[in-house]
Structure 1
Amino acid sequence: MQTQNRLLDDFARLMTDAAGAAQGVRREAETLMRAQAERFLRDMDLASREEVEVLRDLVTALRSQNDALVARVDALEAKLAEPKSGGTRGRGAASTA
């Protein structure tokens, strides 16, 4: 009976050691995969979160400036259109006379 208990104890110890070794292998594999992924992303030269936020703020500012310039051009075109239609009659009359 003593032999069976010792055999079971040895088997249990072997399984415990195997489980610990499997966890160690899993941790090493995760670390290796994480390092590979980080190197891959670094090599891809992706923009960082901070760079994207700065670009977003810049685009927002430029968009508002563009809207202001469009409104200004529209106002100037409207101003040019008024004298042109009124001035054409005056010029036409002056050139015929």
Structure 2
Amino acid sequence: MSTGTNRILDDFAKLMTDAAGAAQGVRREMETVFRAQGERLLNSMDVVKREEFEAVRDMAIKARDENDALLARIAALEARLSDPAQ
């Protein structure tokens, strides 16, 4: 009799283990599907990646600094041209 009960419990434990494994497989599959859908949505929205944004931002900062330096040089040159004493 104890062998029958143990067999039932063993079968039940095996069934639960298989069910847990199947649930994990379904979870992984759903994560993959959601990730793919999210990437597809972001690609359709034409969203840039953070690395690309950072690179363009750094280029804009450098261009602004260079522009400020050139404006200062132009102002100095215009001041020299407008001063007849030099």
Pairwise same-fold verdict (TM > 0.5): yes
The two structures have a TM-score, normalised by structure 1, of: 0.68
Counterpart in the other structure of 2:83: 82
Q: Displacement of 1:67 after TM fit?
A: 1.9
Q: Displacement of 1:76 after TM fit?
A: 2.8
Q: Distance in 2 between matches of 1:65 and 1:25?
A: 55
Q: Which has the larger radius of gyration?
A: 1
Identity of aligned residues (%): 58
Q: Larger % of helix: which?
A: 1
Q: Displacement of 1:50 after TM fit?
A: 4.2
Please list, as runs of the form range in 1=range in 2, the aligned pairs for 1:8-23 lying within 5 A after superposition. Answer: 8-23=9-24
**Unmatched tracts of structure 2, length 5 or more:** none
Please list, as runs of the form range in 1=range in 2, the aligned pairs for 1:1-97 lying within 5 A after superposition. Answer: 1-48=2-49, 49-50=51-52, 52-53=54-55, 55-83=56-84
Query: For residue 38 of structure 1, what is the amino acid of its counterpart?
Result: E
How many residues are matched?
83
The two structures have a TM-score, normalised by structure 2, of: 0.75
Q: Distance in 1 between matches of 2:13 and 2:74?
A: 84
RMSD of aligned Cα (Å): 2.3
Q: Distance in 1 between matches of 2:59 and 2:18?
A: 57
**Unmatched tracts of structure 1, length 5 or more:** 87-97
Q: Distance in 1 between matches of 2:60 and 2:19?
A: 57
Q: Which moved more, 1:62-71 or 1:1-10?
A: 62-71
